[in-house]
Amino acid sequence: MDKETERIEVLQENNTAQSTLESVLQTKTKKTNEVSISIPLSGAIDFKLLASMGFSKIRHLLLSKGQITGIHNFPDGITHMVCNDNLLETIDGLPDTIEYLDVTSNMIQSIDLSRLTQLKILRISHNKLQELKGLPESLQELHCSYNQIRHLDLKNVPNLSVLDCNHNHQLELENVPDSVIDIKLPDTVRMKIHKNDRISSLKDYEDYVRQYFRIKSKYDQDLKNIQSRSKQNKNTKRGQNKTSNAKRLPKCVGCGKPVGMIFSNKDEKLTAICGNSQPCDWKVIIHKGFFVDQTKLLYSFLEDIEEMKQKFIQHKLNTVFEYISEKDSGKLFEKELKLYQSTSEQVHDLLNIYKDKYFSLTKEESIRDKQKLIQDKLLLVKEALANHDVELAVRIQREEIAPLSNAIQREKYEVMKMVSVKVDKGVVVQVATTDNPELTHYLAQEQVDMSRLDENIGEKVSVEYFGNKK
């Protein structure tokens, strides 16, 4: 049984957590600072019960695996909260005294951490998070693997030492602090370092595109099912079959009528409209832009400039030998000079983008600074070993040198991914990464994310309509 179904059944048929909690609390002393519930609870909990029963010194709340669907009215002053492997969809109202929070293996889709100014350790793996914002500056460990997080900005957590964000597909990491000692990343991770301001994009553009294709995929599947059922109806008369088939179309997402929908991917646009002869107001218009490889575009402009230079020389010679009048030559030169200047500006902008991606002075300076720090730390390691202090040498290597080395790697490469291959009938083929001992694994690193190597020379990327909204 999946967790969604289990949660519904608990709320409808077995919401007994509050009464069970009260029975357990009756067996505990009022002076305790820890409430540890070792039996599984089912349903919602209201911790107002603690104060009403005289528990005023609680600092630790430890709830075992069960079917807890909600927690309300956390007591003030608690520092440790554990509720893993339950059925929580949200966890709100946590006091700002929390230092340790473990809600692993629940159904949490969002969490507000902005008030938790003393939080040091957060364990929230195996949930349904799509974003994780407002991380407090106090955070030292973040465990958020097996979620659906697409972007994680760690700018505000300068003291973070442990980061486990594995199994968040298509994750983009930003501002990973140098303090991170222990890090676990997905097989493919993108480091957000630079931004191409020339590529205009809507913040949620990719999400809208995914929604569009989800709608289209469902429509195509519904249409396929209808056609399949129609073919199986062999006992219906041929004339009746035609009449029936003409009306058998999937429902429009907007009006809900079985009139079908019309999808298009032309003219640099994704569109969808109601299939009725008089369409409803629901529609999708997404402008995709027209992207070309920046390097090819740059070389194309450079070739154009060389051709223009040759034309300038030719026009000058034509004027000298009076093949063309000075007046006509002047007009032609003025026209081509404007084109030359415009193309030169384009080349200048593209060269700046290219240099910023591959030869960023800021990035190179940052890497050099870290390399110098590593050399200084290695001298300390050498000194510690000379004094036979192996423990100090190892600690410097693990806690200071290794994080700096990892930080250099992250700055050098925007994309790092694990590539797995195997030999199949004498041919090396790429396969999904698993623990299969027959596979060979490689770390592939890309200095620049391939998605940033394109230049939009078409319309601005935008969502004109989606549904009934502009």
387 confidence band (pLDDT: 50, 70, 90): very high
Residue 195 pLDDT > 70, yes or no? no
Instruction: Return the residue matching tokens 């369409």.
Output: 279
Instruction: Write the CA distances from 236 to 73, 245, 249, 258, integer angstroms.
Output: 63, 11, 18, 21
1-33 pLDDT, tens digit each = 788 899 999 999 899 999 999 999 998 998 899
- Residue 90 CA to residue 403 CA, distance in Å, equals 34
198 confidence band (pLDDT: 50, 70, 90): very low
CATH number for 3-192: choose from 3.40.50.1370, 1.10.10.60, 3.90.650.10, 3.80.10.10: 3.80.10.10
Average pLDDT for 231-249: 58
| Residue-level pLDDT at 163 | 95
- Residue 170 CA to residue 149 CA, distance in Å, equals 8
| Segment (H or E) for 264 | strand 261-264
Angle formed by the axes of helices 326-358 and 294-320, nearest 10°:
160
Residues 6+ away with beta carbon under 8 Å from 96: 115, 116, 117, 118
| Residue-level pLDDT at 25 | 92
For 124-138, 214-228, 384-398, which range has the lowest pLDDT when averaged over its residues? 214-228
- Residue 163 CA to residue 291 CA, distance in Å, equals 35
Average pLDDT for 267-281: 91
- 97, 78 Cβ separation under 8 angstroms: yes
> What's the farthest any 2 CA atoms get from each other in the chain?
111
User: Regarding predicted confidence, which is higher, 129 or 442?
Assistant: 129
Residues 6+ away with beta carbon under 8 Å from 452: 194, 196, 199, 357, 414
Residue 245 pLDDT > 50, yes or no? no
Average pLDDT for 28-57: 92
User: Regarding predicted confidence, which is higher, 285 or 203?
Assistant: 285
- Residue 278 CA to residue 294 CA, distance in Å, equals 43
312-339 pLDDT, tens digit each = 888 788 888 777 887 887 888 888 888 8
The chain-wide mean pLDDT, for the chain, equals 87
Give backbone dihedrals phi and psi of 407, rounded to 5 degrees, phi first.
Answer: -65, -40
Residue 197 pLDDT > 60, yes or no? no
69-118 pLDDT, tens digit each = 999 999 999 999 999 999 999 998 999 999 999 999 999 999 989 899 99
Average pLDDT for 397-414: 89
